[in-house]
Structure 1
Amino acid sequence: MTEPPANPAPKALAEPVVRFDSVGMRYGRGPEILRDITFDLPRGSFQFLTGPSGAGKTTLLRLIYMARKPSRGLISHFGGDSASLSRRELPHVRRRIGMVFQDFRMLSHLNVFENVALPLRVAGRKRAEYAEDVAELISWVGLGDKMDAQPATLSGGEQQRVAIARAIVGQPELLVADEPTGNVDPAMGRRLLRLFTELNKLGTTVLIATHDITLVRALDVPILTLADGRLSVKGTRAA
């Protein structure tokens, strides 16, 4: 993986990667799933997102990824108002975000190597430039012997690891992961967490939504908790 560009400003002075200001979200005419959500994701931070099932964690992540628009309130990405983005600008901003979906979203006609390398291909990179890095990353997530395998032949845990590798292969400025260790054993979960922390050390902002208390307790980082449509910040484990 290539080295990320240097931040244009010191971490403390830089604009947050994502900012929510009094955001509300509802589907159709139903009740609000998220209410008055206000928070920042500081550049270079690592945070967990927790909360009971149905609390709105996946909805919040979709708003961050700009797969949904809020019903009210303001969301900014990388210092700019997301609502003002044109259809042409949206894909370019979204490429700065690595997203791990719960349903993996692998392309069935591509093998493991091609699925992981897809963000680099879309960015215009040549295979010769990234082949070694992609192969190394696939091996790191324990799928070195599956590079030519088709998605249909993989287990759920294997597909999840492919989705994680694809999300981080380009060292995005922001990584958002929805239950990234939900289908892997504890040992692989710890290995993936190390991968996330190493990516964070290189400058990527990381937000992981999880029910895994063991995972949350492994790092002394801020914890965002969703309950009854509202978000609270518990600070670090030490606090």
Structure 2
Amino acid sequence: MRYGDGPDVLRDLSFALAPGSFHFITGASGAGKTSLLRLISLAARPSEGRVAVFGQDVSHAGPKARPALRRRIGVVFQELLLLDHLSVFDNAALPLRISGRRPSEYRADVAELLTWVGLGQRMDSMPSTLAGGEQQRLAIARAVVNRPEILLADEPTGNVDHEMALRLFRLFVELNRLGTTVLIATHDQDLVARSNKPLMHLERGRLHLRPAPL
């Protein structure tokens, strides 16, 4: 993968994530972690090669096929893309609303999730009134609210304290236990060490797979 006429950001990558697996991606800034997540989330296309998601080659998927696939993927990027005109509750519930569920069906579940991420008292607030860490937690809640088949998260604990980072990690683990494939890009080496999960290390655009510690 490359941007414009620039050098390769990612090259010679070949790997598969088993359904229900949990991996971390590590690597220095600029190693290509975000670009890799963008490829898997269908937010970008490879310059060469093939990307398959849910068994379908999406490298050249048309505009009609991509939205349906994206609805099966939960994404937390560093640009949070919260909707300023919607409340905290409505931002978190947006994937459920798009899927056609009625508010009466999901109100309690969304409230419980927001309480879990520490936003139970801010459900009626607007995103612009939240601190950076609170906005990040809201983006995480929105990404996991519909139990996606794949969860991709780019530095999801970057703006929260240690206690909240562990709390969010437990949320990701529980989602994984329910069957979601989880892939998290992070610089938080303490979190990686505590997790006992395998990691994929990116260095100079190339991927090195490392098993979970024994």
Instruction: Give the TM-score, by structure 1 length.
Output: 0.88
Cα distance in structure 2, aligned partners of 1:221 and 1:152 = 35
Summarize the alignment of residues 77-92 of structure 1 with structure 2, pairs less than 5 Å apart: 77-92=53-68
Aligned partner of 2:184: which letter? I
Q: How many residues align?
A: 214
Bigger share in strand? 1
Partner of 1:190: 166
Partner of 2:153: 177
- Give secondary structure in 2 for the equivalent of 1:175: strand
Stretches of structure 1 lacking an aligned partner (at least 5 in a row): 1-24
Q: Is this contact kept in 1: 2:25–2:33, CA < 8 A?
A: yes
Match of 1:132 among 89, 108, 115: 108
Match of 1:47 among 16, 20, 23: 23
Summarize the alignment of residues 3-152 of structure 1 with structure 2, pairs less than 5 Å apart: 25-152=1-128
Cα distance in structure 1, aligned partners of 2:201 and 2:108 = 39
- Give secondary structure in 2 for the equivalent of 1:225: strand
Deviation at 1:237, TM superposition (A): 1.9
Cα distance in structure 2, aligned partners of 1:181 and 1:170 = 20
Aligned partner of 1:67: which letter? A
- Give secondary structure in 1 for the equivalent of 2:208: strand
Cα distance in structure 2, aligned partners of 1:69 and 1:113 = 32
- Give secondary structure in 1 for the equivalent of 2:105: helix
Describe the superposition over 1:150-170 as per-residue Cα deviations: whole angstroms up to 9, x where unpaired: 011000000000000000000
Describe the superposition over 1:51-84 as per-residue Cα deviations: whole angstroms up to 9, x where unpaired: 0001010011000101000000111010111135
Cα distance in structure 2, aligned partners of 1:123 and 1:86 = 21
Aligned partner of 1:162: which letter? L
Instruction: Give the TM-score, by structure 2 length.
Output: 0.99
- Give secondary structure in 1 for the equivalent of 2:51: strand
Deviation at 1:202, TM superposition (A): 0.2
Deviation at 1:122, TM superposition (A): 0.6
Deviation at 1:86, TM superposition (A): 2.2
Aligned partner of 1:34: which letter? L
Aligned partner of 1:170: which letter? N
Partner of 1:165: 141
1:229 partnered with 2:205: yes
Cα distance in structure 1, aligned partners of 2:74 and 2:203 = 25
Q: 4+ residue runs of structure 1 moved beyond 6 angstroms?
A: none
Aligned partner of 2:141: which letter? A
Cα distance in structure 2, aligned partners of 1:185 and 1:219 = 17
Cα distance in structure 2, aligned partners of 1:172 and 1:214 = 26
Cα distance in structure 1, aligned partners of 2:60 and 2:99 = 23
Stretches of structure 2 lacking an aligned partner (at least 5 in a row): none
Identity over aligned pairs, percent: 58
Cα distance in structure 1, aligned partners of 2:66 and 2:79 = 22
